[in-house]
Amino acid sequence: MVLHEGDITAQGTKRIAELTAQQVQVVTAPDGQTYTLDQVKQLPADQKKAVLSLDAGFGSKQLAAPQAGLMALLSRGIVEGKMAWPLIIAGMMMGLAFILMQVKSPMLVSVGMYLPLETTFAIFLGGLIKGAVEMFGAKRNLNDAQKVRVENNGVLLAAGLIAGEALVGLVFASLAFFEVKYKIFPNPGMFFISLAILAGIAVYLVKVPLDNAGEADEPAPPSANF
C-alpha cells in the first residue's frame, strides 16, 4: 500500500508540475467533474490517479500486480455497487462448463486467463519439474512412503521459492518507485546467465527431494499436499 500510494503521489506531483508550467488551472475528471490544481493536491491517492489519468500505483507498468488489481476490482464492485456482472456471470458459466467437462485443473485454466504469460509460464515450468520428479521416482521404484517424503520436500522448497520471490519483488518494486537505474540487467549476457541459474534451480528441485526420499522401511510422514 505504501508503494502504491507513494507511486501515485510521485507521479501526481510531476503531472501537476507539468500542468502548472502549461498554465492549466482546472482539470476535468473522466466523470465530468472539474477540479482546481489545489483541490487535486488534496485528493486521496486513488481519486487523484483517476482525475489526472495517471499510469501509477499497482497495475501500472512500474508496479504491475494483476492479482491485486483483480481483488481490488472485485472489492470495489461489492462496496461501491458497481460490479461488472456480465463478466462475473460469464466466469460462473465457464466454471460450470469446466466442471461438466471434468477439466482436471479448472483453477489453472482460470488463473491463466487473467495472469500474464510471464507469470503463468512459471506454473508450467513447475509442472514440468514435478513431472520430472515423478518420472525419476518411478525409475527408482520408490514406495508410497518415500513418494510422500519426496512430495513434502518438494512442497517446502517450492514454498521457500515463492516467499523469496515475493521479497525480491518488493526490492524491485522499491527500485522502480525510487527510479534507481541499474545497468547489470540490460546486459545481453544476463539472459544466458539467467537461463543457467534457472536450470540450476530446476535440477536442485528435482535432485534434493529424491535424494531425501529416505529408506524404504521408514514410515510415511504426514502429507504436505493441500
pLDDT at 173 over 80: no
CA–CA separation, 205 and 196 (whole Å)? 14
CA–CA separation, 24 and 18 (whole Å)? 9
Q: Per-domain residue ranges for the chain?
A: 2-83, 84-114, 116-211
**91-115: per-residue pLDDT in tens?**
889 989 988 998 887 887 877 777 7
pLDDT band at residue 226 using 50, 70 and 90 as cut-offs: very low
Give the pTM: 0.60
- At residue 156, the pLDDT reads 92
- At residue 201, the pLDDT reads 94
Question: Greatest CA separation found in the chain?
Answer: 81
pLDDT band at residue 189 using 50, 70 and 90 as cut-offs: confident
What is the overall mean pLDDT for the chain? 80
